[in-house]
Structure formats: structure tokens, C-alpha cells
Amino acid sequence: LVVSGASVSGLALGPLIPFLLDTYGWRGALLLLAAISFNLVAAGALLRPLPVTDVSPGPPPQGPSGLLQLLHHGPFLRYSLAFILVDAGYYVPLVHGE
């Protein structure tokens, strides 16, 4: 289920891209594809580690200290590295094929 999103989006974008190109031109189509991809920012914001119960309750630290804690969190780093490697090896010529 986790990695099925790439396959589903590959199937959905195949017929969608020619439609967008015919309707909005190449600039409008790329703008709409960027807007669709921008939704991944909200999904990425949900990938924060849950607070540990033995730490004092409260909101996680924000700013540079919160980012440094996130960059030292082992499971988050492994998860991020896995997606970087998947994205580097996953090539779908949907935009370039048209």
C-alpha cells in the first residue's frame, strides 16, 4: 500500500498529461502538475516522529533545534533515504514523452 501511490499516479498521469497539454498548453499543464505535486508538502509535513513519552510533554521544538533533532532521528533518516533512492531510480517519462 505504501509504494502503490507511485504506480497509481503513473497510470493516472498517462492520460491526464495529454489532456492537460491540449487544454492548457505546456505552461499551464506544467503549472497544474506542479500544483498537484505541491500536495506532497502536506504529506511530508506529517512524517515527523512522534514524541517519546518519557520526555516532557509539550509541542516539539520549532526552528533550528527542532530540525536538528529531526535530522538525528534514525528512523526518519532511513525513511527519507529510502524515498530519495526510490525517486532517483524511478523514472517515468510522462512529461517528456508527450
Instruction: Walk along the chain (98 residues) and give the pLDDT tens digit of each residue.
Output: 566 666 777 778 888 888 999 999 999 998 998 888 888 778 777 877 666 666 555 665 566 666 777 778 888 888 888 878 777 766 666 555 65
Q: Where are the domains of the chain?
A: 1-47, 63-92
- Give the pLDDT score at 17: 87
Residues 6+ apart with CB under 8 A from 90: 6
The Cα 28–Cα 19 span in angstroms is: 11
pTM equals 0.48
88 dihedral zone (left: phi>0; alpha: psi -120 to 50; beta): alpha
